[in-house]
Each structure stands twice: as structure tokens, then as C-alpha cells.
Structure 1
Amino acid sequence: MKDIPIAKITRADVVVWHTAIESQFPDTTTNANGYNRLRAAFSEALERDLIEANPVLTREAGTAVAKEKELPTDEEIATIVEQFPAQLKLEAVLCLHHGLRIGEMLALRREGVTIIRENGTAEVHVNATLQRVVNSETRKTEMLRVEGPKTVAGRRTVPIFLHAGRRVHRAHGHPC
């Protein structure tokens, strides 16, 4: 398309260009961003009366397709946890089995964990996160505990599953 004057570019030219980049470059996010920029440039050209119509109209082409994530199996997670030193197995289990983010796990305090003695279960109350920030005066990286999550869904109570708790207990030498 680089050799075609802007006023002469048609929808067919755009489709050929888009098909070519999709087949040559598999990264859908980069391709979608490129398409969106092309559409914005042609929208500006239309606004300035340089062209009569915008040939870049397919909205779906500007949408990246999310890649499917492959999650590890319980057996794979158990193998990963076994590789951690004993003093870090609890943290690994909280993140890998229970979905805590690293910052949430690092910000946990004893008062954020409730153990229900009757049935031997536990709950973790997520109400803070630890973030890495740069001190503007010293230019050094520091950890900052931030109370309250960014979203309402971030403040939550996470149940600790018995099988994971037993695994951690055994890792610390306690019989279950």
C-alpha cells in the first residue's frame, strides 16, 4: 500500500494488506494495533477532506484474539511446590493453589489469616498488596504496603483447601 496515493486506496487494498500481515506475523495484538493505527490515520484524512471515504472499516480486524492459556495440572503444581525450600512452600501454595497474587501474598499479616479450629480449615483475608516503587529522593526501589485493593473484587476471603494445607504442614515436618 505504500506506493498507492492515499486517495486511491480501496477496501480491497486494505484487506489484502491485512491478510498479508496476519499470515506473515502471527502476533495478533501487534497486528490489531497496526490496523487500529491505520484506521485512525484514515479517519484523520477523512476529517481533513483528503479522502472521500475511510477504506479501513472492519472493526473486527482491530481486535486482538486472546491466546488460550494452558494452566498447570494439580500434579504439575505439586511438583513445582516440591522444588521450593521448606520456608517458602506456604507462599507457593497460596499463589499456585489459591490464586493469590504475589503482592497480596507478600502483604499478608497474621491478622489476615483465620483458622477455624472446629473443622481444621483456614481463610486468608486479602485486603492489601505490596508494590515495588522507586523512592523519588534516593532513586532506590522500595516495597510499599498498600491498604485496600484497586477494585472491589480484589478485597476477598480465600478459603484454604484442606489438601493444600496438609501438603504445607507435611513440608514443614508436621503430621496431618
Structure 2
Amino acid sequence: MAGKRRQFGRVRKLPSGRYQARYVGPDGALRPAPDTFRTKREADDWLADVQTELRQGDWRDPDAAKVPFEKYASAWVAERPLAASTAELYEILVRVHLVPTFGRLTIADITPAAVRTWRRARLDAEVGLTTVAKAYSLLRTIMGTAVEDGLIRRNPCQIKNGGTVNTPERPTASVLDVFAIADASQPRYRALVLLGAFCALRWGELVGLRRRDIDLDEGVIRVRGSISELNSGKRIYKAPKSEAGKRSVAIPQSVLPTVVDHLRQFAESGADGRVFVGAKGATPRRNHFNGLWHKACAEVGVEGLRFHDLRHTGNTLASYTDANTRELMVRLGQSSTRAALIYQHGSRKREREIANGIDAMIVDALKRRPRSKGHGRGTTD
């Protein structure tokens, strides 16, 4: 009795003795299986799987995923509305850390094993943990888009916590250490140090301040944006990443006179005048200031403290005022939920109370001089 005629696809035996399976795709093109099969049964099973995919709407054009990773990744970065600093970071990660390994491979050829091998090689080459984590996260996101585009079925980036780095907790400075470093700094940067600590402002937010951003009557700083410096040296002013970044931060009363003196002596005139300018009239650059910072820290015997650690210091001080998590998020300009943004609009009174609490710690510490040497985990001597 004659066998039942095949309804989907064709199988033929090749001169080599192996079997080839082919079918007509939804686009009308004849699609051969990527490999030949040892038996006719294996070829039949493969065609049955393809037919199931077509019926369930899961079929993917096998040629679509043949695009080289370098081409796909470059287009991925170019098509997204990224901030200039983020676009620059992604371009570097793709060019330096991803393309050398995956550039010539097609999207379909990148496997979980290949990703694991790449990550291990990066770590063995003593590339920084943070850099490897950022490169892995970008790779995972790009390949996730390939899944959404229907090019591949599954993201090959399957390493648990591959995009996270467990960094050691940074030190906090004592109140007296902060004042000592500020006093040892150049006079034009004294207010910058104090505001970095006691208002927990970022470097970019500080150097981006204009006179109109400081309300001396209310004693608050209104953060509207920040200065970002690219690797090329170009600096750009950008708005905060989220609405929570736009915030009003109360200045402790003990710091306010320093701010007043600074505006009188060093800030540019006019509402749009820059609050912090260098000796030659330019916006301070981070790498130049770092040299001055390390010199001031060494002079007063504080070791291992970065300027950004002042922000951690400010957050720690604020937490000692019994500020709750949401209030700390508001003060720091961070948010992960919509509720945090809603709460921000009604928090001015509480923000002043937090600043007053920090001020009380400043006053208490200044009364108990002389200052102890070094920095510690706490906030007072």
C-alpha cells in the first residue's frame, strides 16, 4: 500500500546517504534545513516542528538572524534617544568589549556558552568588574531586542547577576573632617565641598548651578540639571534623568553664611551666572579638581575619601535625623516608584526639618573641636 503523501515540506536522500528537508516559508521562499539528517525520520521530525511553529505563529525567518552582531549593535545604539554621555559609553562598550568577540558572529550564532566564555575572558584579562558588568548588561539588552524583533527565540545572556557588581561600602566623613577638607581647599571651592556633603549634591549638579538656582531667602538650592563631561572633554548641560532629580534641597543654617560669602566673592554676576568657576573663569573640570581634592585630604590626614563619598556622607547624616526612606530618596533626587515622585511635591516642610537636623549635628561637632584625624564610618567624632 502506497504511503500517505506528505502535506508539508519535502525530504530527499542525498548521494552521501544523508537526508535533506525543505519547505516553503510564509514568504514563498524555499527553505532548507540548516543541516542534513542521518535518517529520514529525523528529517520528518524537523519538518513537523517547523509546521507546528507556523501554526502557532512562532516561525522566524532563519535568514533574518544572519545579520552580523556589529551591524545590529551599532544600529541599536544609533536608533535610541540616548543622552550624549550614555551614547558615548555604549559606543565604547560595543567597540572595545563586545565587537572584538561577537562582531563577526551573526545574532543567531551567539550562544549562552559563547557569552559565558567571553565574560570569563574579560575577567581573566583583569578588566574592571564594573566595566564587565556594564558590557554584559548592554549585550543582554541588545540581544533582548533581537528576541523582540523575532530574530532569535531566546536571549543567550543567561548569567545570573552578570550585570551586577557588589562593591564595598564607601566610607563616610565626619562633620569635622568635611570642614577640615573644606578649609584646606582653595577658598573658591570651600562652599562646593560643604554643599557636596551637607546637601548631598552630585559633582555635576554642583558645577551646573546658576545664581537663580539658589534662594537665599528660603535657604534652598533648586536642582534643575547637571553638567556632564564626555571622554572627548566636551561638557554638556542636561536635565535630570527623572523628575525626582529636579528637586529643592534645604541648606543647613551653619553652611548658609559660607554660601553667601561664596556668591559675593567667586560666583558670576547675573541670575544666569555660574556659581562655581575656576581661577581662569571656566567651569571646573573633575580631573583638575580631583588633584586639589586629594591634596586637601592629604593635608588634613584623611585617606581614601573620594569627592563623591561626600554624597554618601550627606545621606548618612540625613538618615540620622529620622528621615524615612522616601524622604531620603527625595533629598537625593532618586526614585524607583511613582509614589516617590508624588510625595516629592509635598515635602518642603520635611526637607527643612531634615536640614535642621543635619545643622544640629554640625553645630554639635564644631563645638567639640579639636578635630580627630582620619575619616570613619560615623558622622561625628
TM-score normalized by structure 1?
0.52
The within-5 A match list for 1:93-104 is: 94-95=194-195, 98-99=198-199, 101=201, 102=206, 103=209
Q: Give how far 1:55 is off.
A: 1.7
For 1:163, the aligned partner's letter is D
Q: Give how far 1:43 is off.
A: 3.2
8 Å Cα contact 1:104-1:128 kept in structure 2: no
Q: Does 1:163 align with 2:364?
A: yes
Residue 26 of structure 1 is matched in structure 2 by 128
For 2:214, the aligned partner's letter is A
The 3 A distance-change label for structure 1 pair 64 and 143 is: farther
Q: Give how far 1:74 is off.
A: 3.8
The within-5 A match list for 1:94-133 is: 94-95=194-195, 98-99=198-199, 101=201, 102=206, 103=209, 107-109=214-216, 111-112=217-218, 125-126=219-220, 128-129=222-223
The percentage of counterpart residues that share the same residue type is 21
The 3 A distance-change label for structure 1 pair 4 and 20 is: same
SS in 2 for 1:128: strand
The within-5 A match list for 1:133-144 is: 142-143=272-273
Distance 2:157 2:178 in 1: 46
Q: Give how far 1:18 is off.
A: 1.1
Distance 1:16 1:108 in 2: 55
Structure 2 counterpart of 1:79, from 180, 201, 205: 180
Across the two proteins, how many residue pairs are aligned to each other? 143
Unaligned runs of 5+ residues in structure 1 are: 113-124, 135-141, 168-176
8 Å Cα contact 1:108-1:126 kept in structure 2: yes
For 1:107, the aligned partner's letter is I
Q: Does 1:56 align with 2:157?
A: yes
Distance 2:189 2:108 in 1: 63
Residue 108 of structure 2 is matched in structure 1 by 7
Residue 69 of structure 1 is matched in structure 2 by 170
8 Å Cα contact 2:175-2:365 kept in structure 1: no
Higher share of residues assigned strand:
1
Relative contact order, higher structure (CA 8 A, sep 6+): 2
Q: Give how far 1:72 is off.
A: 2.4
SS in 2 for 1:53: coil
The 3 A distance-change label for structure 1 pair 126 and 166 is: farther
SS in 2 for 1:79: helix
How big is each residue's C-alpha offset from its partner over 1:23-67, in whole Å with a ceiling of 9 and x where there is no partner? 431151x32332133223333444555545332123521234456
Distance 2:122 2:139 in 1: 13
8 Å Cα contact 1:131-1:143 kept in structure 2: no
TM-score normalized by structure 2?
0.29
Distance 1:45 1:87 in 2: 51
C-alpha RMSD of matched pairs (Å): 4.6
For 2:128, the aligned partner's letter is P
Q: Give how far 1:17 is off.
A: 0.9
Residue 81 of structure 2 is matched in structure 1 by none
8 Å Cα contact 2:178-2:194 kept in structure 1: no
Q: Give how far 1:83 is off.
A: 2.4
My pick for the range that moved more, 79-88 or 48-57, is 79-88
The 3 A distance-change label for structure 1 pair 129 and 18 is: closer
SS in 1 for 2:170: coil
The higher radius of gyration belongs to 2
Distance 1:52 1:85 in 2: 58
SS in 2 for 1:163: helix
8 Å Cα contact 2:146-2:152 kept in structure 1: yes
The 3 A distance-change label for structure 1 pair 53 and 131 is: closer
The within-5 A match list for 1:28-43 is: 28=130, 30-43=131-144
8 Å Cα contact 1:132-1:144 kept in structure 2: no
My pick for the range that moved more, 125-134 or 77-86, is 125-134
8 Å Cα contact 2:116-2:159 kept in structure 1: no
For 2:140, the aligned partner's letter is R
Distance 1:21 1:127 in 2: 43
